[in-house]
Chain A
Amino acid sequence: MKAALFNIVPYLGQAERTSWPAPGRAYDPEVAQRSTELALEQFQLADELGFDWVTLAEHHFAPLSLTPNPMVMAGAVTQRVRRARIALLGATIPILNPVRVAEEFAMLDTLTGGRVVAGMLRGTANEYVTYDVNPAESRARFEEAMALIVRAWTEPEPFGWQGRYYRFRTVSIWPRPVQRPHPPIYMSGSSPEAGEFAARHHLSIGLAFTTLPLARAATEHYRACARSHGWEPAPDDVLYRVTAHVAESDDEALEDLRGAGADTPRRGFSLSNRRLDDAAAGAGYYGRDAAAQRGRIEAQGRPMAERIEAGQLLAGGPDTVLAQARRIRDELGAGILELVFQPMGREKTLRAIELFGRSVLPSLSMD
């Protein structure tokens, strides 16, 4: 099983965290610089410890994440991470210019000599407010944007694109990806529609902000659809994202988490503005199992013990965390475990990453 270190690059200072968009009035640029540097430090450590991937994401207008353009951050990461793949999970393609996305991924693939993983996501419902895009168009824009990006990467002759949402009279990107035919593509596999699209187009899936039972249902649906299209996803085609903390012992890990406030209920990013999410849901953003999708996001607010049981949190000493990771692999057939280390101060977080890298990862890699 492979391991990825995900860092959303949170703003590590005082800020309004219960609304979206968050006001910038208390923003401190020094805190933001320190937060960004800490993320780079963690990525570099993960690379040195043998993590297979480091991962970035795109979120806007909140202290949750300081990488509204993960491509820019990834450019910096290429100068620190010399071996691991650099994954963007992802670019929120329905709100972006697909040709620009294709160019940026190709630049990163060139900078890394072919180590980019191209995640393409729809994002959370609130992202559509950011660039004034109708969330009802999200899925159709997503599907067309992905087709255009792949075409831009692979088409040897200049071409025009006459789409439904995108029109370009001539496209011929430079640079082009190092990986042929193109970098591996991951998309969310949480909703049934997403699993079906990924299966039809031979794409890999990631499952985040979910629970093991929900992820198992989503994975089984994806695999069944893939089989009906004549192919069998490999373990690496399924990525599972989970919050984690590792300490010397189980007791110490749980104590650390309580100290970091991880046992208090949290609200999902998109649900921090309920009226906005309701409006997006009303526009049809969530698709045919809307209630399950919104419940999946709300499930992030449960107590710590329940989150561990539900596979939302890995916590404990190295042996315990190894067992928890193996459970995810066994239940989902997931080949990539993506870890979000619980922020709890620079030293403790770095120590947790190091403990995972030295005491869990070697056994996990052998599996």
Chain B
Amino acid sequence: MQTTWREDHVEVGGRRVRCHGAGSGEALVQVGGDLTPAHDLLARGRRVIVLDGPDLHPPAVLGAASALGIDAFDLLATAAGADIAQQTVLTEPGRVRALVLESPAARPMPAVGAPVLVVVGTEAGPTAAETGRAFRRELPNCHLVFVYAAGPAVARQRPEAFVEVVSDFLERHEQFIVSRRDSALLP
């Protein structure tokens, strides 16, 4: 099934923020970054908005979401985008349901109380793993998941693995550790 992405612009505080959108349902907003096969998969079950721009900051993220008619949303960020994403949560905690950070390259902000999922590739190197651990240790409500055989670009390299864990987490938050897999083989 082909996912159709619509390119759009929204006005926030007199500035244009470019965005790509696809899908319908609960909103997942990504701060910067490229479209990957994982985004196509994510857009099958939710409304995905990827914000683009050289100087995204928390008011721009929150304003863009409002301009698109989105009140509460899940937030996804990669690498250094983890910094803006955490600040966005801290700016209006009530609007961000959960936060997903792919290979974060930022310091954890312990005041972030929202459910957080940190995804790190097993081939991303010791610094990426250590940063993931720091988030797990310092945020009150954080889960760390290693994606096997992926480097820093987890969503690009292992899209199915990335989407499976992210979707489950966004749907169930910390309860995602309880398996719902049906293991019955035969009636």
Contacts and interface: CB of A to CB of B under 8 A. Distances in A.
**Do the two chains belong together in a single complex?**
yes
A160 B145 contact: yes
Nearest to B164: A162
B143 A160 contact: yes
Binding site secondary structure of chain B: mixed
Contacts of A163: 148-149, 161
Contacts of A156: 133
Contacts, number: 53
A161 B148 CA distance: 7
B136 A158 contact: yes
Interface in B108-146: 119, 122, 133, 136-137, 143-146
B89 to A, nearest CB: 21
Contact of A158 (B119, B144, B165): B144
**Which of the four size classes fits the interface of chain B?**
20 to 34
B133 A162 contact: no
Contacts of A169: 143, 145, 176-179
Interface of A: 144, 147-148, 151, 155-164, 166, 169-170
Given A151-B122, A164-B149, A159 B144 contact: yes
22 contacts: A151-B122, A151-B146, A156-B133, A157-B133, A158-B144, A159-B136, A159-B144, A160-B143, A160-B145, A160-B165, A160-B177, A162-B145, A162-B146, A162-B147, A162-B148, A162-B158, A162-B161, A162-B162, A162-B165, A163-B161, A169-B178, A169-B179
A318 to B, nearest CB: 49
Contacts of A162: 119, 145-148, 158, 161-162, 164-165
Nearest to A164: B148
A160 B179 CA distance: 12
Given A144-B148, A151-B122, A162-B148, A157 B176 contact: no
